[in-house]
Amino acid sequence: MPERPILVVDDDPTILATVSEVLDMEGFAVVTATNGAEALAAVDHAVPSLVLLDMRMPVLDGWGFMRAIRERGLTLTVVVMTAAADARRWGREIGAEGVLAKPFDIDELVRAVQHWRPHGTGET
Amino acid sequence: MTGLDQLQYLSWLLYLFVFVAVLARTIRRPTPAHLDMTLFFGAIAILIVLSTVTAKLHVAPPPWVTALTGAAALSLGYLLLRLVRDFSDVPTLAMRATEVGLVVSVVGISFWPTPLPPTFALLLVAYMVAVIAYATLAFARLAARMPGVTRRRMQAAAAGSLCLTLALVVAGLGVGFSDFAGLWEELSAAVGLASGVCYFVAFAPPTWLRHAWQEPELRAFLAGAGSLSRLPDLRSIVHELERGAASALGAPAASIALWDPDTRRLHGYYPPTDPDVAAEQPDGEHVKDGENGEDGAWELDPAAHPVSALGFVNQRPTLVTDLLQMDPANAALFKKYNARTLISAPITASTRRVGLLLVYAPRAPVFANSDLELVQLLADQAAVILQSRALVNEAAHVAAREEAARLKEDFLSSAAHDLKTPLTGIVTQAQLLLRRHERDPAAPADAVGLNRLVEQSQRLRNLVVGLLDVSRLEHPGLVGARAEADLRTLVQEAVSHAALSGGKRVKLEVPPQPVLAEVDVQRFEQVLTNLVENALKYSPHDSRVIVRVWQADAEARLSVQDRGIGVPVEDQPLVFERFHRARNVDDRRFAGMGLGLYIARGIVEQHGGRIWLDSTPGAGSTFFVALPAVAPGSAETNAIEGMQVASA
């Protein structure tokens, strides 16, 4: 059974690239999306083990993405990844497991992923 | 007693009653106007008493009685003219002519043997008719000009004078056509009674009648007063209150002055210039700016103008009947506005002094003592309205302060968000590079990662510089020392800068002669670079960007035109606002902070210039900048002077 990937969603291409490269280096399977709509398509393709979700994005934002996920009857483990001052409140609002406030460094990123990613679903 | 007799007695009684009433009032308050009224009705009383007594005694009256009766009758016209003069101006020539006519006719009837020759008698009647008809017209003109209760009084005076003229004409006809003596007498008695009633209500209106006449205007004022505080600005509210007060009082003008406790002055506004009213002014002078220069405003120092501000100083309504006499220092001002008499009442909300209501009239008899209460009532009403306006203003101020605080909070949180995003990229990318290097020191450099690091650092730098500019924009210090510069040169430089990043698709259109303006070159280049880079950023890579420079009247102008995505109509007024980006901007394609145009506007405005745009969504945008131009030629002159200095 193939490993369930981590889905990284952010509209900033640099953040998207560095985060996915860090996770890749740590041995995680990663898929990326630049907005909520692309993220939904990725979820439909393969249900991720964890979602790192930016909130303010064009086309479909974090709130819209979570609404669509609930409508599909899916339950995902989500970590909100935002630069906003309201990070914790937003996390509670959408029912996220955790919050990763920008700017973060890669150790925090890796620790967060290891902490919130459900165990036994991937690492070979 | 016949019906005719009853009518006659009734009118006589009425005249005698009015005489007693005005006499009593004159004794109480001896003003020139009251004296004139007493003289007028006194002459009529003498006429009535003497002729009644003579008729009752059935004897030929002694010559002095005849002479006195004649003199009383002849003086009526003159006395009526004096009453006209109490309400408005009468040309001196008309006054003198009437006086001469009076003397001549009294002398005539005293020394001419009776009966008078018909020609002379007819001349006397003609003289009387002319004078009284003149008075009738004067009252009618006043009635047309004055508002409210004074209009009604003047109408009554005009009607009374018309009746008196008719009575004289009838009497004249009675002399000429004595066949119908009964008819003439009947007519004469009827119009006599009518004129008595009219004069009574005109010159000595009882208080209840005055109040009844004031009521419609007062009602209209109070009915409209409730909505006054919703008028857009204080000036309109004040003008409506002034108009209402003037019409309720039957006075031609009223002013409201508002108290400024800081300057310790009362501030008022002149009414908006009305060409009709201006034409009515005796010297034809238009009412315009005040002593202080601010358009249409005047101020009053209660310490320097104690008479005008009496109501304010005493904090109770006050009537000043002769301003020219009481305050000769300001006589010229009072004459200019045709104000001889004034009621002033304090506008005071509970204990707070709000201002002063002044109601002016050209003549004292326009007002009665009972008007003091009315003016105070209006002033109290004005206090309520102005106070509620002040509360509305205060609420608006609080709302504006809250809005400013909210905007600041929004600004800070947006700024923090925008700073954190590139910062995240830099931190993670740098750590990633380091970690890779630690794991495999021999691996080749990650050019893509390094490039990202540089890009994000630049983005952060631009953002920090922009935010610093924004914070300095709040103060006038962003734009430094200015020097005369040729916009053609500045544009050339900005384009060559931009060309490095945007290719060679910028076209320059400049005139052959210099276009000069005084600019802080570094800051102005920032504006130009921003506009050109925006144009390149938001338009297709193969389309042209045209930059033009030209001189328009007193402005040096430039424009930057692109064939790009354009700005949606609803965003156009907002593009120069802080952190505003048009909704058709895709954040991923156009990395931007939404600060550039805001800063550009700040810089242009601190140069005393304007910036605006003309845009069609989908077809492109043209941004315009206009700066105050330096007169063409002055640079050349300087250059020539410089050369002379150099060669000397």
Contact at CB, B587 and A25, closer than 8 angstroms: no
**Structure token pair of residue B167:** 């009575």
Q: Check residue B289 and give its pLDDT.
A: 34
> Residues B638-648: what's their mean pLDDT?
35
Q: pLDDT class for B592, splitting at 50, 70, 90?
A: low
Q: pLDDT class for B646, splitting at 50, 70, 90?
A: very low
A6-116, which class in CATH? alpha beta
Give SS3 for B360: strand
Residue B527 Cα distances to A72, B297, B530, angstroms? 50, 41, 5
Gap from B453 CA to chain A (nearest CA, Å): 9
Rounded to the nearest 10°, the torsion over CA B330, B276, B355, B332 is 0
pLDDT > 90 fraction of chain A, expressed in percent and rounded: 51
Helix residue ranges, H only, B297-348: 310-314, 323-326, 331-336
Cis bond before residue B115 (omega within 30° of 0): yes
Give SS3 for B286: coil
CATH 3.40.640.10 fits B478-634, yes or no: no
> Residues B361-368: what's their mean pLDDT?
76
- Does residue B640 surpass a pLDDT of 50? no
Integer Cα distance of B278 and B542 in angstroms: 66
Domain B3-205 CATH (choose: 3.30.420.310, 1.10.150.240, 1.20.1070.10, 3.20.20.330): 1.20.1070.10
Integer Cα distance of B104 and B153 in angstroms: 32
Q: Which chain B positions have a beta carbon within 8 Å of A25's beta carbon?
A: 432, 435-436
Integer Cα distance of B490 and B483 in angstroms: 12
Contact at CB, B587 and A21, closer than 8 angstroms: no
pLDDT tens-digit readout, B551-567:
988 889 999 999 888 88
DSSP conformation class of B352: E
Q: Does A102 touch chain B (CB under 8 A)?
A: yes
- Does residue B394 surpass a pLDDT of 60? yes
Q: Check residue A94 and give its pLDDT.
A: 87
DSSP conformation class of B454: H
Q: Which chain B positions have a beta carbon within 8 Å of A58's beta carbon?
A: 586-588
Q: Check residue B180 and give its pLDDT.
A: 67
Q: Check residue B643 and give its pLDDT.
A: 35
Q: Check residue B274 and give its pLDDT.
A: 44
Integer Cα distance of B11 and B80 in angstroms: 18
Spell out which chain B residues touch chain A, with contact meaning CB-CB distance below 8 angstroms. Answer: 413, 416-418, 420-429, 431-432, 435-436, 449, 452, 455-456, 586-588
> Length of chain B, please?
648
Residue of B nearest to A56 (CA): B417
Helix residue ranges, H only, B440-577: 447-473, 487-502, 521-537
> What is the C-alpha R_g of chain A?
13
Cis bond before residue B63 (omega within 30° of 0): no
Q: Check residue B234 and give its pLDDT.
A: 78
Q: How far is CA B583 from the centre of its chain?
A: 43
ipTM for this prediction: 0.86
Q: For B265-269, B526-530, B637-641, which range has the lowest pLDDT when averaged over its residues?
A: B637-641
Contact at CB, B428 and A85, closer than 8 angstroms: no
Residue with tokens 């490039």: B451
Q: Considering only the beta carbons, identify the residue of B418, B425, B436 that sits closest to A15.
A: B425
- Does residue B282 surpass a pLDDT of 50? no
B396-473, which class in CATH? mainly alpha
Residue with tokens 């996920």: A69
Contact at CB, A104 and B455, closer than 8 angstroms: no
Q: Check residue A29 and give its pLDDT.
A: 92
Gap from A52 CA to chain B (nearest CA, Å): 14
Q: What does pTM read for this prediction?
A: 0.53
CATH 3.30.450.40 fits B227-393, yes or no: yes
Contact at CB, A14 and B455, closer than 8 angstroms: yes
What angle, rounded to 10 degrees, do the helices at B447-473 and B371-439 form? 160
Gap from B459 CA to chain A (nearest CA, Å): 12
Helices and strands, number each (H, E), in chain B: 19, 13
Gap from A74 CA to chain B (nearest CA, Å): 29
DSSP track, A9-41: E-S-HHHHHHHHHHHHHTT--EEEESSHHHHHH
B480, B508 in Cβ contact below 8 A?
Answer: no
- Given the DSSP bridges, would you call strands A6-9 and A30-33 parallel, antiparallel or unpaired? parallel
Residue from B413, B424, B454 whose CB has the most chain A CBs within 10 Å, to mutate: B424
pLDDT tens-digit readout, A49-106:
999 999 888 788 889 999 999 998 888 999 999 888 778 888 888 888 889 988 898 9
> Length of chain A, please?
124
For residue A80, give the H/E element and its range. strand A78-82
Termini Cα distance of chain A: 11
pLDDT tens-digit readout, B35-79:
888 898 888 888 888 877 777 777 777 777 777 888 888 888 899
Q: Which chain A positions have a beta carbon within 8 Å of B424's beta carbon?
A: 12, 15, 83, 102-104
Higher local confidence (pLDDT), A108 or B65: A108
pLDDT > 70 fraction of chain B, expressed in percent and rounded: 86
Residue B514 Cα distances to B498, B510, B636, angstroms? 22, 9, 10
Closest to B289 (Cα-Cα) out of B260, B264, B269: B269
Contact at CB, A25 and B432, closer than 8 angstroms: yes
Q: Does A109 touch chain B (CB under 8 A)?
A: yes
> Residues B342-363: what's their mean pLDDT?
85
Q: Work out the mean pLDDT of chain B and round it to a whole number.
A: 79
Integer Cα distance of B3 and B20 in angstroms: 26
Residue of A nearest to B590 (CA): A12
CB-based contacts of B329: which residues, under 8 Å, 6+ apart? none
Integer Cα distance of B358 and B3 in angstroms: 51
- Does residue B25 surpass a pLDDT of 90? no
Q: pLDDT class for B645, splitting at 50, 70, 90?
A: very low
Residue with tokens 């042209």: B544
Higher local confidence (pLDDT), B110 or B80: B80
Residues of chain B with CATH 3.30.450.40: 227-393
Higher local confidence (pLDDT), B60 or B245: B245
Residue from A82, A102, A104, A109 whose CB has the most chain B CBs within 10 Å, to mutate: A102
Q: Which chain B positions have a beta carbon within 8 Å of A26's beta carbon?
A: none
- Does residue B590 surpass a pLDDT of 60? no
Q: Considering only the beta carbons, identify the residue of B413, B421, B431 that sits closest to A12.
A: B421
Q: Check residue A122 and give its pLDDT.
A: 44
Q: Check residue B279 and give its pLDDT.
A: 34
How many Cβ contacts (< 8 angstroms) between chains A and B?
71
Termini Cα distance of chain B: 119
Higher local confidence (pLDDT), B277 or B350: B350
Contact at CB, B417 and A83, closer than 8 angstroms: yes
